[in-house]
Amino acid sequence: MDGRKRKFILELQKKSRLRRESGLYVIDGPKMAKEVPSEIVEEICVTKEFMSSVHMAECSQLLKEAGFTVISESEMRQISDTVSPQGILIVARQNRIRGLKELLSSGGTPLLLILETIQDPGNLGTILRASEAAGVTGVIMDRETVDVYSPKVVRSTMGAILRVPFLCVEDLVKAAVTLKEGGIPGQPSVTLYAAHLLGAADYTEVSYRGPSAVMIGNESKGLSDTLASLADRRILIPMCGHVESLNAAMAAAVISFEAARQRRGTGILTEKQEL
């Protein structure tokens, strides 16, 4: 591998600006690699050791369709973001959902998460993973939220980044207003719920059966007053003991699975989404 390509892959993992400008990101390791559709692949690097490993069979179809370059283990260590590379690294093209209309057209009665300034990569990755499991139809986040294509977020999604529709927007308040007012042609208005410590309703006592969006705020500051003021209802998760709140990922998961429970009883969940 020549020096320019090695430098590009390294910088792609370190610099969010380069990821935005290039429209590319890195997927590292066989667990996610076996799920990558060949049409988004820009480049694949594998080691000789990987070619004879137990993971080769899982990725063989992708390698056949997309092609690959064999590099040494030392080269893989140089370009990988992980301490112990697992022999396969993919440079892939990013998801290109371009607006609320496209996000809402992904199918089903909308069940959305709106994320404001989530900063921890593990939290964002876990939210995407839980979203897929609970049948969330789309995730909307602001530009201040940690880069969804950073290596730590990508790994923590455990592949959900390849399947959960999501959108990063410049103006989260504008997006929330548009959803609330039914401003997307052909789409219904969406009920907005704010996860909030000053919530007026137990999260299990509101209905998520209709078009719904749950707004989750920053780990330390919660939702901004502006965004929280747009909510049709504020909701909270009752706590025992001395715990005041759950972290953002846990709260998102708890509420999403309550929505999934309610929707299972009405047939809103598709067969693919059945838990």
- How many angstroms separate the first and last alpha carbons of the chain? 44
Residues 80, 106 within the same domain: no
Over residues 7-54, the pLDDT tens digits come to: 999 999 999 999 999 999 999 999 999 999 999 999 999 999 999 999
What's the pLDDT at 229?
A: 97
What is the band of 274 on the pLDDT scale with cuts at 50, 70, 90?
A: very low
What's the pLDDT at 96?
A: 84
Residues 46, 112 within the same domain: no
Over residues 116-165, the pLDDT tens digits come to: 999 999 999 999 999 999 999 999 999 999 999 999 999 999 999 999 99
**Do residues 120 and 220 touch, judged by C-beta distance below 8 A?**
no
What is the band of 2 on the pLDDT scale with cuts at 50, 70, 90?
A: confident
Residues 84, 115 within the same domain: no
Q: Tell me, what CATH number does 33's domain have?
A: 3.30.1330.30
Q: Which residues pair with 194 in a beta bridge?
A: 215, 234
What's the pLDDT at 269?
A: 53
What's the pLDDT at 267?
A: 57
Residues 50, 123 within the same domain: no
Task: Say whether pLDDT at 273 is over 70.
Answer: no
Considering the chain, what percentage of its residues have pLDDT values greater than 90?
84
Among 93, 108, 133, identify where a domain stops. 93
Q: Which residues pair with 92 in a beta bridge?
A: 25, 41
Residues 169, 257 within the same domain: yes
Task: Say whether pLDDT at 107 is over 80.
Answer: no
- Rounded Cα distance between 216 and 115, Å, is 5
Cβ-proximal residues to 167 (8 Å cutoff; 6+ apart), any chain = 97, 99, 100, 102, 103, 138, 139, 140, 141
**Mean of the per-residue pLDDT values of the chain:** 93
Q: Tell me the C-alpha to C-alpha distance, in Å, between residue 59 and each of 55, 87, 133, 191.
A: 7, 11, 24, 42
Task: Say whether pLDDT at 253 is over 90.
Answer: yes
Over residues 51-86, the pLDDT tens digits come to: 999 999 999 999 999 999 999 999 999 999 988 999
Q: Tell me, what CATH number does 254's domain have?
A: 3.40.1280.10
What is the band of 271 on the pLDDT scale with cuts at 50, 70, 90?
A: very low
- Rounded Cα distance between 22 and 16, Å, is 10
3-state secondary structure the chain: CCHHHHHHHHHHHHCHHHHHHHCEEEEECHHHHCCCCHHHEEEEEEEHHHHCCCCHHHHHHHHHHHCCEEECHHHHHHHCCCCCCCCEEEEEECCCCCCHHHHHCCCCCCEEEEECCCCCHHHHHHHHHHHHHHCCCEEEEECCCCCCCCHHHHHHCCCHHHCCCEEEECCHHHHHHHHHCCCCCCCCCCEEEEECCCCCEEHHHCCCCCCEEEEECECCCECCHHHHCCCCEEEECCCCCCCCCCCHHHHHHHHHHHHHHHHHCCCCCCHHHCC
Residues 88, 177 within the same domain: no
What's the pLDDT at 60?
A: 94
What's the pLDDT at 241?
A: 82
Tell me which residue range forms the domain holding 49: 3-93
